[in-house]
Amino acid sequence: MATDELMRKALEALRDDGPPSVEAIHRLTDLGGVHEPMMINEVADLLDISPHTLRYYERAGLVEVARDGNGHRLYDAEAVRRLVFLTRMRLAGMPMRDLQHYITLVEAGKHTVPERLDMLIEHRDTICRRIRELALSLTAVEYKIATYGGWTGPDVQDLDTALPREPQRRTQAAGTDKRGAGERADGGPE
């Protein structure tokens, strides 16, 4: 499944009851209905990822999966919980090599908790920086929308008070555009 679709479903699961919290993550990882091992298609449906992705995670050493007598994969609740974590970290942009290192540390034992914590703090800082960069990009897009006379989105502060007022434009006859070379129609910088 595409990352955008997985993110949409994850955001829907958070509900609109305030900012994401640890409780929201518990809701996302609630596997109360998982009592028996699940087949690959069931896990793929549950997590909205493809069976191919599940097999890739297994080949990459991120999750161990038992097999039944016929060689079919059987995912227990622990494997599914790990896959929930892995999919969330991938959505957050964590590279596969970092996930592999993280899982190696998990499997090495509790003495690696400080290093895992450092990895997660570093990744959190990366996410926060990306959020700030995206917020700045959103503001730039909203600015351009406003300069063209469009409406800004609901999550953006009132840009009308922050934007300099454009001078009234004179109406010109068709074909008599008086802009200088390199100027845009709205007069603003590119």
Q: What letter would DSSP give residue 124? A: H
Say if 4 falls within a structural domain: no
Whether residue 182 lies inside any domain: the answer is no
- For residue 29, tell me if it sits in a domain: yes
User: Residue 74: what are its φ and ψ, rounded to 5°?
Assistant: -125, 115
Amino acid identity for residue 53 in this structure: T
Asked if the structure places residue 32 within a domain, the reply is yes
Can you give the CATH number for the domain in which 45 is found?
A: 1.10.1660.10
User: How many domains, the chain?
Assistant: 1
The model's pLDDT over 160-175, given as tens digits with 9 standing for 90+, comes to 444 444 444 444 444 4
Q: What is the pLDDT of residues 133-155, one digit of tens each?
A: 999 999 999 888 888 887 766 65
Residue 163 placed within a domain: no
Establish if 46 belongs to a structural domain: yes
Residue 2, strand partner residues = none
- Expressed as residue numbers, the domain containing 43 is 22-108
pLDDT less than 70: residues of the chain: 1-35, 152-190
